Amino acid sequence: MASIVLSNVDKIYAGGVKAVNGLNLEIKDGEFMVLVGPSGCGKSTALRMIAGLEDISGGEIAIGEKVVNHLPPKDRDIAMVFQNYALYPHMTVAENLAFGLKLRKMPKPEIQKRVNQAAKMLGLEQYLKRKPAALSGGQRQRVAMGRAIVREPQAFLMDEPLSNLDAKLRVSMRASLNQMHERLGVTTVYVTHDQVEAMTLGDRVCVLRDGILQQVDTPQNLFDNPVNLFVAGFMGSPSMNFVTAELVQVDGGAAAAFAGFRLPVPASTFTEKPGLDQYLGRKVILGIRPSDFEDAAAANGHTGAGWARLPVRAEVTEELGSEINVLFLIDAPPVEHKDTVAAKDADEDGEPIPLAGDKSLWTARVNARSHVRPGQQTELVVDTHNLHFFDQGSGLAIGHPANVGR
Amino acid sequence: MTTAPVDSGLAGAPRRGVLGRIVDRAGGGLLQVSLIVIALFWLIPTLGLLVVSIRGETYNNSSGWWTAFTRPAELTLENYQNLLATGFTSSFWNTVLITVPATVLVIGIAAMAAYAFAWIEFPGRDLLFLVVIALLIVPIQIALIPIARLYGTLNIAGSILGVVLFHVAFGLPFAVFLLRNFFVGIPRELLEAARMDGAGEWKIFATVVFPLAAPAVASLGIFQFLWVWNDLLVALVFADTENQPMTKALQSQMRQFGTNVDVLAPGAFLSLIIPLVLFFAFQRYFVQGMMAGSVK
């Protein structure tokens, strides 16, 4: 096992396209690091550079304190799982698993032992004699994992390994991946475009966009404290609601005013977000997570201080069983910042653009006990402690530690 | 989810018009019949050749070969004995000595070149490949005289080596072209997976790419084998009498007057049967999809 350190890594393709731009990333020993971002953000390129399948245009990559910039893949002691599995079709499962060990001239009994161990761990024992063509998608996926495991490498690299599986299998494979990492404790770099996968698997998640690192943090911190509009919009499903609001001074405190509403901003928010007070009297982009809403009627406990009321008309309700997504219109134009647009595009299961005219469509996630129905007037409450504020020009989160002084 | 209106009793059965189904059924039978006719057309002359080759010379000169079916007494192995008496065995071995190396060399060299053209980046690669393609259109006739002179200076004129080299040179462009296009179709991830597993270029070629190319290699092998086996022109120009293959030996048995069919027929049949056996031995590779299950 080893740590992986990327310092100022660049990748420039012929034609001048900068796929990765000055990437700095430290993946600790035994850590599960997820690289996430929309397609074309450079996450796969970064992974392939760690693997040695792509040359590095600039910077330095070290695996276990050894600079590997010019080492071929076979000398980096890492294993990779590919999106389409890339099993050798002319070899049986056992031969697929043993291939890497044979090339390393490992003694036969040792190969046999490791193959059997991995097969047992992955439940592949009865398939060892089969060829990949005779396996289901999930089984092939496990063989691909097994091929990495038997090598006992310093690190696993995984390039969207679950994206070819159907939804149900993906969830169970996600769980077994988690288990496997717990058990083996091998440093893992995992690339995905699926933010749910990123949140559930990663010890830390690294959000990339256009080859530039946006934020690296634990999933919860990314969710709670996104560094900019892009991360805020990309992480979380349904995605964060945005509106251009004015921070106004009212008697007894401050409030965010938009579309005829005034959400009081608690005094604690100003201490948590240094520099926010300078935006008083100015316009900011306000972000509210769908999960920070609640139906006033169903939320008895949430009517005290810090919860502001928001009377709206529910346009659409999506009942998910455990909760209900309430879609409603806010009488303010949608925020068209380059970052929110980029995050929206990337959101694959994003809602279709509705015929909302010049209004923004917001989503609130309320308890399933709520009796809200489409077309109904309803009252929502908002947890004002969890409001997010972004600078209109730069799109950076106001008061985020990483942005102070930027 | 909306439910699609159910308009057909059979779920999953593709809907077809009545006319379509009639054409389908009749067409299926028609197809069978025409295939059988074509097969017979191809088989009858071969069968005739076989019968002629085992029928006495006088009978062959007096009546058609099909009459032999009612008079099995006419059949004899004498023709084959006559053929062997002409020294045909050595020309048979010459053919083998020419064909096998010419096929193996073409496959070996072309596979390695094709791997490089498909998967190794080097400056001028595409231009070089274009040159190889361009060589496809060079007819062998224009090279006969220059190469004959070259062989003269190299002192390999008339030898088996000269014939083999000529066949290899003119077999390579097509072989490289065919194999390169096949290799390019192999998913890149397979090669990358092998690279991650610790394989160098040679190992990737030998253990992953070449085995996967078995169908293409088999087809190429058959084609190349047939071309060389059946070649007469190159043998006429470059092979001495002692190094001549079967085709040239048979040709030398032709006479200005009379057919000499009792020697020609068994010779022709012998030269025909070997490629046939080979074809049937390798035919499963043409049908088999080797790529199934590698990715996705």
Does the pLDDT value for residue A296 go beyond 60?
Answer: yes
Percent of chain A with pLDDT over 90: 54
Same domain assignment for residues A23 and A96: yes
Same domain assignment for residues A275 and A286: yes
In this prediction, residues A394-405 reach a mean pLDDT of 85
Same domain assignment for residues A144 and A259: no
Predicted confidence band at B9 (pLDDT cuts at 50, 70, 90)? very low
pLDDT one-digit tens code per residue, A143-177 = 999 999 999 999 999 999 998 888 888 888 899 89
Of B187, B207, B290, the CB nearest to A86: B187
Confidence (pLDDT) at B111: 96
| A72 in contact with chain B, both atoms CB, cutoff 8 A | yes
| B190 in contact with chain A, both atoms CB, cutoff 8 A | yes
Whether residue B128 lies inside any domain: the answer is yes
Q: How far is A94 from chain B (nearest CA, A)?
A: 14
Strands A32-36 and A261-265: unpaired
In this prediction, residues B3-10 reach a mean pLDDT of 41
For residue B83, give the H/E element and its range. helix B78-85
Per the CB < 8 A criterion, the answer to whether B260 and B254 are in contact is yes
Asked if the Cβ–Cβ distance from A103 to B187 is below 8 Å, we say no
**Which one of A233, A264, A280 terminates a domain?**
A233
Whether residue B268 lies inside any domain: the answer is yes
Instruction: Tell me which residues of chain A, numbers 128 to 167, contact chain B at a CB-CB cutoff of 8 Å.
Output: 131-135, 137, 140, 147, 151, 164
**Which one of B31, B53, B76 terminates a domain?**
B76
- Give the span between the Cα atoms of A370 and B113, in whole angstroms: 70
Whether residue B28 lies inside any domain: the answer is yes
Confidence (pLDDT) at A16: 85
In this prediction, residues A200-213 reach a mean pLDDT of 93
**Which one of A210, A233, A256 terminates a domain?**
A233
Average pLDDT, chain A: 88
Give the count of domains, chain B.
Answer: 2
Predicted confidence band at B192 (pLDDT cuts at 50, 70, 90)? very high
- Give the span between the Cα atoms of B11 and B184, in whole angstroms: 40
Q: Which residues of B touch A135 (CB under 8 A)?
A: 293
Asked if the Cβ–Cβ distance from B295 to A131 is below 8 Å, we say no
Asked if the Cβ–Cβ distance from B187 to A132 is below 8 Å, we say no
Report in angstroms the alpha-carbon separations of A177 from A1, A116, A162, A185, A315: 17, 19, 10, 11, 39
Domain that holds residue A185: 4-233
| A353 in contact with chain B, both atoms CB, cutoff 8 A | no
Confidence (pLDDT) at B6: 39
- Give the span between the Cα atoms of B27 and B103, in whole angstroms: 40
Confidence (pLDDT) at B2: 42
Confidence (pLDDT) at B7: 41
Confidence (pLDDT) at A95: 95
Predicted confidence band at B270 (pLDDT cuts at 50, 70, 90)? confident
Percent of chain A with pLDDT over 70: 93
Confidence (pLDDT) at B285: 67
- Give the span between the Cα atoms of A252 and A266, in whole angstroms: 10
DSSP per residue over A105-160, as a string? Answer: T--HHHHHHHHHHHHHHHT-GGGTTS-GGGS-HHHHHHHHHHHHHHT--SEEEEES
Q: Which residue, among A68, A101, A103, A151, would best test binding to B if mutated, counting the most B CBs under 10 Å from its CB? A: A103
Give the count of domains, chain A.
Answer: 2
Confidence (pLDDT) at B149: 94
Closest residue, chain A, to B191 (C-alpha): A86
Comparing A86-90, A93-97, A200-204, B279-283, the range with the smallest average pLDDT is B279-283
- Give the span between the Cα atoms of B6 and B93, in whole angstroms: 70
Confidence (pLDDT) at B26: 66
Asked if the Cβ–Cβ distance from A74 to B197 is below 8 Å, we say yes
Confidence (pLDDT) at A301: 60
Q: How far is B196 from chain A (nearest CA, A)?
A: 5
Comparing A101-115, B141-155, B210-224, the range with the smallest average pLDDT is B210-224
Closest residue, chain A, to B214 (C-alpha): A90
Q: How far is B208 from chain A (nearest CA, A)?
A: 7
Comparing A59-68, A197-206, A224-233, A300-309, the range with the smallest average pLDDT is A300-309
Closest residue, chain A, to B202 (C-alpha): A103
| B194 in contact with chain A, both atoms CB, cutoff 8 A | yes
Geometric angle at alpha carbon A214, from A212 and A215, rounded to 5°? 140
Asked if the Cβ–Cβ distance from B293 to A78 is below 8 Å, we say no
Closest residue, chain A, to B291 (C-alpha): A89
Same domain assignment for residues B101 and B240: yes
CATH number of the domain bearing residue B272: 1.10.3720.10
Confidence (pLDDT) at B289: 46
More confident residue, B134 or B24: B134
A12-26, A294-308, B11-25: which is most confident: A12-26
Whether residue B12 lies inside any domain: the answer is no
Q: Which residues of B touch A140 (CB under 8 A)?
A: 293
Confidence (pLDDT) at A298: 75
- Give the span between the Cα atoms of A50 and A68, in whole angstroms: 8
Domain that holds residue B46: 21-76
| A84 in contact with chain B, both atoms CB, cutoff 8 A | yes
Q: How far is A367 from chain B (nearest CA, A)?
A: 24
Same domain assignment for residues B131 and B93: yes
| Identity of the residue numbered B259 | T
| B294 in contact with chain A, both atoms CB, cutoff 8 A | yes
Q: Which residues of A touch B288 (CB under 8 A)?
A: none
Whether residue B198 lies inside any domain: the answer is yes
Asked if the Cβ–Cβ distance from B199 to A84 is below 8 Å, we say no
Same domain assignment for residues A199 and A266: no
| B150 in contact with chain A, both atoms CB, cutoff 8 A | no
Does the pLDDT value for residue B94 go beyond 60?
Answer: yes
Same domain assignment for residues B71 and B98: no
Report in angstroms the alpha-carbon separations of B112 from A91, A182, B109, B193, B277: 22, 44, 5, 20, 28
CATH number of the domain bearing residue A12: 3.40.50.300
Q: Which residue, among A55, A99, A114, would best test binding to B if mutated, counting the most B CBs under 10 Å from its CB? A: A99
Listed in order, strand segments (DSSP E) in chain B are none
Q: How far is A4 from chain B (nearest CA, A)?
A: 17
